[in-house]
Amino acid sequence: MRGFWDHIAGLYDLSQAFNPRANQAMVQAVTQWVSPGCRVLDCGAGTGALSLAAAKKARFVLCTDLSPAMLAQAREKARREGVENIAFAERDLFSRPAARPFDG
């Protein structure tokens, strides 16, 4: 599974162009749901669009994905946008939970 996501990571964001209203609605929903100052864990974050949306209000976001290539794309987006309250970790959904608790 990891190989598939690594292979398409460079093209993944192009898929957002096919349904921009749905993608924008998801970003807006995340922005509304995140409480100011909370800690957010984003599992299966892909290229980080929702992690970056959460980071606008959260104190800290941990952006996780199985694919190192997807995380590289997310890191680059965060760098370009100047987002500093975010960290990245290669994890799958079945790995041990993070040691520090998250709010959402």
Summarize pLDDT for 17-55 with one digit per residue, the tens.
Answer: 888 899 999 999 999 999 999 999 999 999 999 999 999
Q: Rounded to 5 degrees, what are φ and ψ at 87? A: -130, 165
- What average pLDDT score do residues 82-102 get? 82
pLDDT of residue 19: 87
Q: Which among 51, 49, 56 is positioned nearest to 24, based on CA atoms? A: 49
Name beta bridge partners: 39: 60
Q: Is the pTM of this model over 0.85?
A: yes
pLDDT reading at 59 higher than 80: yes
* Half-sphere exposure in the Cβ direction for 76 (13 Å, CA): 11
The answer to whether the beta carbons of residues 42 and 64 sit under 8 Å apart is yes
